[in-house]
Chain A
Amino acid sequence: MSDPRIVFDNVSRFYGEVLGVNRVNLAIPPGITSLVGPNGSGKTTLMNLMTGLIHPTRGSVTILGIPTGRPEELFRKMGYCTQFDAFPKGLTGYQFIYSFLLVHGMVESEAVRLTEEALERVSMTAAAGRPVAAYSKGMRQRIKLAQAIAHRPTVLVLDEPLNGLDPMARNETIALFKQWGGEGRHVIVSSHILHEVDRISDQVILLSHGYVVAEGQIHDVRSEVKDQPMQILVRCDKPGVLAARLFEKDNVVEAKVNSDGRGLLVRTRDADNLYLMLNRIVLDSGLDVDAVAPADDDVNSVYQYLIGGEGGTT
């Protein structure tokens, strides 16, 4: 049974002098993996390396046991949906997918069947007869997705696939990803929308300036960022009382009252214990709790800690 992982072995990629990615070591299991990082951090380079479109300057990339130097084998198992909005001129949606399937070497009848299946999956069957140039942005995005999944690849690499999709299409596409991930395929997605990344990913890879800054399941990544105690926000009517009780128990490192006086932001090194204590405190002190939320057990906070605000407008 071949290795079901995507493996990057000490991979570096430079474009002349410009850095793409530097010394990347990854072993990605099947499921939904999200690539997160500012623009220019190396996400597109990483995806291009994964699909074999470019080769590493050093190191090796192996997909399901196949090295990326063997494209004929690799592309059968791989589907790539880029972030760029470029299409061969003059084709209809149907022709676009159909011709790519023929290039894969399929017989016509098979190609027709798979084309229709793919169009059905992305709900574009009705519009497939019109030229791609006449599509709206959301429709073009869906046709690109259809092209990437048509030949039922084992590895799907998708660069910002939800860009331009309306909320229902987003939900449907996410459901599609979950289905594919559940079937044991690899779904590699890059995205800037961190709360969606939280919702859908099995594991996350954070990139910054060409380096992999963190990878794994988000809760595990979070607990590994040890120098930062966990932050928890408790909205209640008597934050002062809560703070006093917590300090008595010697659990919290820092407690800060919210600016509106109705919440307490607590930093603790032992979250489990804190929650159990909270149960007691609520009962004993007659506290009126409005909401409880871990303030950083998600991609957004890990992003803040490890990558910070350097991206964006600089």
Chain B
Amino acid sequence: MQPVIELDNLEVRFGERPILKKLNGALTGRAIGLLGPNGAGKSTLINTLLGFHQPFAGTARIFGKDIRTDAKAVRALLGYMPENDSFIAGMTGVHFVRLMAELSGLPPQQAMERAHEAFFWVGLGEARYRNLGTYSLGMKQMAKLAQAIAHGPKLLFLDEPTNGLDPPARARMIQLIQEIRDRGDLRLILSSHLLRDVDECCDEVLILKDGRIAASCNLEEERRANRKFLELETRGANGTFTAGIERLGCEAASFPDGRMKLVMPDGVEIRQLYALAAEQNVQIRRLNHKRDSLEDIFLKAMEVPNGGV
């Protein structure tokens, strides 16, 4: 696939202070997660790609177009959903999105039609004639998403899209993001502190730390490679069960509440675990292949031993 973003020795400074230090790489995923601790430079990277900051040295290319020389052409392909509260006072929802779509170059009629469509698609159909000032936080987030997609961009920047949303709204936002990803003609960059959001939506991840790239990896491949790590939740198990598992050749770690983590070597099958459980009347209430590959990748990138819960 054509790389979405290519970073070419990109350096960004605020005055004397270097914020992004010689970033290099090419991102090709359909949905790219952008992670990093506070102060790593995530917002600065997004702002630079959007043209809000000028690079000090080096450059970047989006769909092959250079952000320094072709800035306007680049921005014609982008949609941006900012993290902070962002709207134009005194307008109704659909008026706002119409304005934004027209500013992106759509003719007035088309802008009007697409504004209405966008509102229905994000689930705000009922509220689109209401004043933006009366929207709740969740609605404002959806309105921000509507204005980001109404003009049909090729790359969408989502900055903390689930911020402040309550659980049903979060689920809906994640669902929308997954729909966008699955379409294929609209790529996205998701910057978030919530690893689970990134895990559910993204197939490639870029991790920044201190202005440098700490890790860049393909989540799909990672997930496929994790077939051998299992997590179990058991009830009724005791030391005998653990001993039995170890006799099969697995490495096992048990926790007091019945949780277990296993590494299965080649040749050992899940069925053998079940045989053991049937013998000892143990319930295997949960069984899955390791899920927190992303958390491990992130922590390893931060070079901090796993101090989580």
Contact = CB atoms under 8 A, between A and B. Distances in A.
Interface in A168-187: 168-172, 174-175, 178
B169 to A, nearest CB: 4
A39 B196 CA distance: 21
Nearest to B194: A193
Interface residues of B, number: 53
A294 B285 contact: yes
A39 B166 contact: yes
Interface stretch (A8-16, A22-30, A304-312): A304-312
Contact of A303 (B35, B38, B167, B283): B167
Contacts of B136: 39-40, 313
B196 A195 contact: yes
Contacts of B126: 314
B287 A283 contact: no
A239 B155 CA distance: 40
B124 A292 contact: no
A70 interface: no
B127 A313 contact: yes
B168 A309 contact: yes
Interface in B256-282: 270-271, 274-275, 277-278, 281-282
A279 B168 contact: no
Contacts of B36: 166
Interface stretch (B16-24, B50-58, B242-250, B297-305): B297-305
B57 to A, nearest CB: 25
Contact of B172 (A163, A175, A312): A312
Interface in B89-137: 122-124, 126-127, 136-137
Contact of A272 (B142, B167, B172, B235): B235
A282 B274 contact: yes
A265 to B, nearest CB: 15
B88 interface: no
Nearest to B275: A283
Interface in B279-299: 281-289, 295, 298-299
Interface in A275-306: 275-276, 278-280, 282-283, 286-294, 300, 303
A252 to B, nearest CB: 16
B193 A165 contact: yes
Contacts of A138: 37-39, 193
Given A166-B193, A195-B196, A288 B283 contact: no
Contacts of A163: 163-164
B270 A194 contact: no
A312 B284 contact: no
A312 B165 contact: yes
B286 A294 contact: yes
B286 A293 contact: yes
Contacts of B68: none
Interface string A40-67: 1000000000000000000000000000
A137 interface: yes
A313 B216 CA distance: 35
Given A137-B38, A170-B193, A288 B271 contact: yes
Given A163-B163, A167-B195, A313-B127, A136 B288 contact: no
B286 A289 contact: no
A291 B289 contact: yes
Given A39-B136, A167-B195, A292 B37 contact: no
B65 interface: no
A40 B289 CA distance: 38
A49 B242 CA distance: 48
A182 to B, nearest CB: 12
A110 to B, nearest CB: 30
Contact of B309 (A39, A174, A313): A174
Given A165-B193, A288-B270, A275 B285 contact: yes
Contacts of B288: 291-293
Interface of A: 36-40, 136-139, 163-172, 174-175, 178, 192-195, 199-200, 271-272, 275-276, 278-280, 282-283, 286-294, 300, 303, 308-314
26 contacts: A39-B138, A40-B136, A163-B163, A166-B35, A166-B37, A166-B38, A167-B35, A167-B37, A167-B295, A168-B299, A170-B193, A171-B309, A192-B166, A275-B283, A275-B284, A275-B285, A276-B281, A279-B284, A290-B289, A291-B288, A292-B284, A293-B286, A293-B287, A294-B286, A300-B167, A313-B122
Given A200-B309, A276-B283, A279-B274, 11 more contacts: A163-B164, A167-B298, A169-B38, A192-B164, A195-B196, A283-B278, A289-B274, A311-B167, A312-B165, A313-B127, A313-B169
Interface of B: 35-39, 122-124, 126-127, 136-139, 142, 163-172, 193-196, 235, 270-271, 274-275, 277-278, 281-289, 295, 298-299, 302, 304, 307-309
